[in-house]
Amino acid sequence: MTYKLNDFLIDGIKAKILAKKYSTPLYCYSLKKIKENIKNFQKSFKSIDPLVCFAVKANPNKIILRQMGKLGLGADVVSIGELMRALKAGIKPNKIVFSGVGKTSHELIYAIKKNILLINAESKSEILEIERIAKKEKKKVKVGVRLNPNTDAKTLIQISTGKKENKFGIPEKDLLHVVKYIKNSKYLDLKCLSVHIGSQILDHTPYEKMLKVVRRIINKTKFKFEYIDLGGGMGIDYENKNRRLNLNKYSKSIKKILIKNKSKIIFEPGRSIIGNSGFLISKIIYIKEGHKKDFIILDAAMNDLMRPALYNANHRIIPANKNKKKTKRTYEFVGPICESTDKFSTLKGFQKLKEKDLILICDVGAYGMSLSSNYNLRPKSTELLINKSKIQVINKRQRLKDLI
Ligand code: LLP
């Protein structure tokens, strides 16, 4: 993914060729990058040999999930839809974990019937509901309990999940009671202690603090958990400033826990596996001179990529064709949607742009398409997977006639 003679290439194919053939806005993923990310992830955690369950919410595309399965990954799902999709993509039930604070009876019955690896429960009420269904089904159901470790993940407040004021998991003081209850149940098989403190974590310290609580819980319960599911959350380098979580350091800290407990580690990474593999190619519809800045009005909008509007997230924007002319104007990259939150970035010193030029919004592989919507009745974009210079359409653009 580099420039060659000023044209940006995704795995050897010019972005402008893709845009011409498939129109814009257009999501493109590089399979090579996904494979590279998985390899790096596995290499960093080699000494603990974890089960890696891809967080389907990051990117639930069927073909992508099929690839994840082929590459040996399991799945972390949070709804019956994601569970069905993961199974359909060929991921084996014994590699699927089910998280979430509000699993309905309908979802639990389905998961129990499918014999998935783990249902990670997040409250006493959910445990009682699983037990009720298990009894009816005459089954002993494998469950995990999700701990709320009251740890600040030092990430965006909207995507922090591990503090006591967050809805997720069971607080330490109640967890021991829940563990005791499950141990005494005929229909529940306690297998796992799970935890997930948030997403886009770049700093190692929160993980260190979280592990301290995990260790304390293991000591207090004196229970031999077959699995410890540490969730996901590993941050990526959106700013291109070489800031990412040090996975090797994290691995070493986890290893310390495993000296005394021989549990199998599960991870549920989403963003770190697929985030930097995706680009959103977009065409400039108009350039409008504004007060002290020019509005670069793109054909991609917040319905295609919600992260900037929702979290003020920053995604790099690069030109599909480089030139050497820098503008003195400030550019504000916006979409056509009728609200002022429909804005991607405000940049100074960008190269001079003109109408119909193409740009790419970077690192949109995770929580890009999965958070997209039909707001303003805009059809969802085409998705392409590039595999060794071969282009595969993995999702067709929604047709207006279906929407209307
Ligand atoms: N496991 C659980 C239980 C989760 O809740 C999540 C993400 C993950 C794993 C995967 O986390 P990752 O490795 O991708 O950070 N829409 C937001 C992110 C929300 C994350 C929700 N949970 C964003 O665009 O930044």
Query: Does the CB atom of residue 234 touch ligand 1 within 6 A?
Result: yes
Which residues share a beta bridge with 288?
Answer: 295
Please compute the mean of the pLDDT values over residues 100-127 and round it to a whole number.
Answer: 97
- pLDDT surpassing 80 at residue 112: yes
Q: Does residue 315 have its Cβ closer than 6 Å to ligand 1?
A: no
231 lines ligand 1 (CB under 6 A): yes
Do the beta carbons of residue 282 and residue 28 sit within 8 Å? Answer: no
| Cα separation, 140 vs 322, whole angstroms | 61
Summarize pLDDT for 43-85 with one digit per residue, the tens: 999 999 999 999 999 999 999 999 999 999 999 999 999 999 9
State yes or no: is 338 an active-site residue: yes
Q: Which two tokens stand for residue 300?
A: 């991609």
- Cα radius of gyration (the chain): 23
Give 160 Cα–ligand 1 centroid separation in angstroms: 9
Whether the CA torsion 15, 18, 21, 26 is positive or negative: it is negative
Tell me the percentage of the chain whose pLDDT exceeds 70: 100
Angle at 383 (CA atoms; ends 382, 384), nearest 5 degrees: 120
How many angstroms separate the alpha carbon of residue 305 from the centre of ligand 1? 16
In 3D space, the residue among 357, 395, 398 whose CA is nearest the CA of residue 28 turns out to be 395
Question: DSSP for 187-201?
Answer: SEEEEEEE---BSSB
Distance 236 CA to ligand 1 centre (A): 12
| Separation of CA 376 and ligand 1 centre (Å) | 26
Q: Looking at per-residue confidence, does 240 or 116 come out higher?
A: 116
User: Which of 268, 273, 369, 370 has most ligand 1 atoms within 8 Å of its beta carbon, as the pocket-test mutant?
Assistant: 268
Residue 389, pLDDT score: 86
Distance (angstroms) between ligand 1 centre and the Cα of 332 equals 28
Residue with tokens 């992260």: 307
CA-nearest of 92, 20, 75 to 274 is 75
Q: What is the pLDDT of residues 20-31, one digit of tens each?
A: 999 999 999 999
Q: What pTM does this model have?
A: 0.97
Catalytic residue chosen out of the listed positions 28, 53, 192, 338: 338
Q: Which domains, from first to last, does the chain contain? A: 2-29+275-403 (2.40.37.10), 32-273 (3.20.20.10)
Q: Which two tokens stand for residue 277?
A: 């593999």
- pLDDT digits 0-9 by tens, 300-321: 999 999 999 999 999 999 999 9
Band of the pLDDT at 242, cuts 50, 70, 90? confident
Query: What secondary structure, in 3-state letters, does 263-320 show?
Result: CEEEECCCHHHHHHHEEEEEEEEEEEECCCEEEEEECCCCCCCCHHHHHCCCCCEEEC
Supply 26's token pair.
């257009």
Here the tokens at position 375 are 């707001």
pLDDT at 157: 83
pLDDT greater than 80 at residue 350: yes
Cα 270 to Cα 187: distance, rounded to the nearest angstrom: 32
Contacts of 46 (CB under 8 A, 6+ apart): none
For position 261, what pLDDT does the model report? 82
Report the nearest-CA residue for atom 8 of ligand 1.
Answer: 232
Decide whether any atom of ligand 1 lies within 6 Å of the 107 Cβ. Answer: no
**What are the C-alpha distances in Å from 384 to residues 10, 28, 39, 133?**
11, 5, 22, 41
* Ligand 1 pocket member 76 (CB < 6 A): yes
